[in-house]
Amino acid sequence: MKKLVVLLACVVGLFASDATVEIVKRLERLPVVALQDATEEDVDAGLKRRFFQMLLGDLKVSANFEVSDEYVKSTYGSEYRVSHTTQKVPDLVLRYKLELSRNGEILARAKVINGATGTVRSERSYKIGQPERYPFLAHRMAVEFNDALGLPSIAWMERFIIFSKYTTPKQSEIVIADYTLTFQQTVITGGLNIFPKWADGRQSGFYYSDYTTKTPTLYHVTLSTGRRTYIAQSQGMMMASDVSKDGNRLLLTMAPSDQPDVYMYHTQTKHLERLTTYSGIDVSAGFIDNEERIVFVSDRLGYPNIFSKTIGQSSVEQMVYHGRNNNSVSAFGRYIVYSSREKSSEFGSGTFNLYLISTQTDFIRQLTATGKNLFPRFSNDGESVLFIKEYGAQSALGIIRLGANKSFHFPLKAGHIQSIDW
C-alpha cells in the first residue's frame, strides 16, 4: 500500500538480479521493452494484429516499462538482433509465436531475451481454448513477463470485470469482460438488472439487483452453472455494495421503510443486521480497517458526503470536508476513494473528480482533473482504481495506476455502463 501515498512516475529498485536490469536500476529508468512477433503466415492477420496491440497495451498499462510501439516480425529461433527502427536499443525483447490447433485452440510460445547479450532469460508455453478470449492469453503473457522481473504485480489484469449495461429504457444486462472490454460475455438479460458485485475473491459467483418488479430483489448467481439463488428483497432500494474477504458477510443498502439504510447480511445464517438508523439516506457501504468499520454515503449534512462508523457502535464520523456532492465511494484497507462534484467555476459544469484519502491520516490526493468520473472501485490488491468515465451519451471504463500516477480509458462501444466491479 506504500504506492498509494507516494507520487512516483516510475518504479525504482524493484528489479531482479539480471545484468540488464541492474543497469536499468542504476540509471533509475524504466526498462525498454520491444515485442517481436514470430507468428507464421498461416495464422489470421487480424488475430496477429489484435494480439500485438493487446500485449503492447498490457505492458503500457502496467506502468512498469517503456514499451516500443514498433511492430517487428521475426522467426522464433532466429538471431535476437532483428532490425528495429527505433533509436533505443531494447533492454528486453519479448518474442512470441501464435499457432492455431485443429480443434480451434490458440497455442502460444514466448521467450524473454536480454537485449544486450541475446541470452534467453525465460521461455513459456500458453494455451487458450476459446479464440474470442485471446485478450486473456495476452494478459497472462504480460503478467508472467512482469513477474519474472520481480516487478509489482499486475495480476489484476487477469481478473474479470463485471458491469451492468443499459441497453434500452428500463432494460439492462449484466456482462463480464476483460479489463479492456475487448472480450465481453452477457450473463444476465431481460429486465432492469443492476449493481453487480463479485461474491468472492475467486470470482466464482456474483450478486446483482433485479429492479424489474415493484420490489427490488437481490440474487446470487453461480458463474459456472448459471444457477440463480434468491437472497433478499426490499421496497424502494436493494443493493449489495461490499462483500467481506471470506464471503460470509454482505453490506446491503435496503429501504424497507422508504428511507435507505445500511444492513449486514450473514450468508451462513441468513441473519440480517441493521447497521445505520438515520432518518435520511445512508447508502453504498464498504468495509474498512480490517473489516471492523464501514464507510458509506449519507445526506446527514443536507448533501451527499462520506462518513464512517465502527460496526456495533452508534457514533458516526465525517470523513470528507470538501465538496457538496460526494456521491460514491470504495474502500480498501485504510484507504478510501470517492467521487466528488466540483464547482463549475473550477472544472467546468457537471465535473466529478475522484479523490483518495486515508482513514488514519489527513492525506488526500486528487486522482482525476476533468470530466465526469464516477463509481470508483479498488482493485483486489488496492493499487489500482477502476471507475466509470462518462462522455455525454457514451461511457468508458477508466483505470488509474496509483503508484505510477497514470490513467487509461477503454470505451464501451454499445450501451451505457451503470455500475462496475472487479
Domain boundaries of the chain, sorted by first residue: 2-155, 158-421
**What was the pLDDT predicted at 324?**
84
Residue with cell 544486450: 116
Cα–Cα distance for residue pair 200/198, rounded to 1 Å: 6
- Mean pLDDT, range 147-166, rounded to an integer: 95
Q: Is 81:13 a contact under the CB 8 Å cutoff?
A: no
Class of domain 2-155: alpha beta
At 218-260, the pLDDT tens digits run: 999 999 999 999 999 999 899 999 999 999 999 999 999 889 9
Q: What percent of the chain shows pLDDT beyond 70?
A: 90
Confidence of residue 29 (pLDDT cuts 50, 70, 90): confident
pLDDT of residue 268: 95
Beta-carbon contacts of 263 under 8 Å, excluding residues fewer than 6 positions away, are 251, 252, 253, 254, 272, 273, 274, 275
Around Cβ 269, how many Cβ atoms within 10 Å? 8
Query: Would you state the pLDDT for residue 293?
Result: 96
* pLDDT at position 126 over 70: yes
Contact 66, 30 (CB under 8 A): yes
- Above 90 in pLDDT, residue 402? yes
**pLDDT exceeds cutoff 90 at 22:** no
Tell me the mean pLDDT in the region 355-376.
92
pLDDT tier, 394 (very low <50, low <70, confident <90, very high otherwise): confident
Residue with the three cell numbers 452477457: 186
Same CATH fold assignment for domains 2-155 and 158-421: no
Give the model's pLDDT for residue 5. 31
**For residue range 258-302, what is the model confidence (pLDDT) as tens digits?**
899 999 999 999 999 999 999 999 999 999 999 999 999 999 999
* Per-chain mean pLDDT for the chain: 89
Query: For residue 348, what pLDDT is reported?
Result: 56
What percentage of the chain has pLDDT greater than the value 90? 78
In sequence order, what are the residues at sequence separation of 6 or more whose Cβ sits closer than 8 angstroms to the Cβ of residue 255?
Answer: 234, 235, 236, 237, 238, 261
Specify whether domain 158-421 bears CATH 2.120.10.30.
Answer: yes
- Find cell 485478450 and name the residue: 135
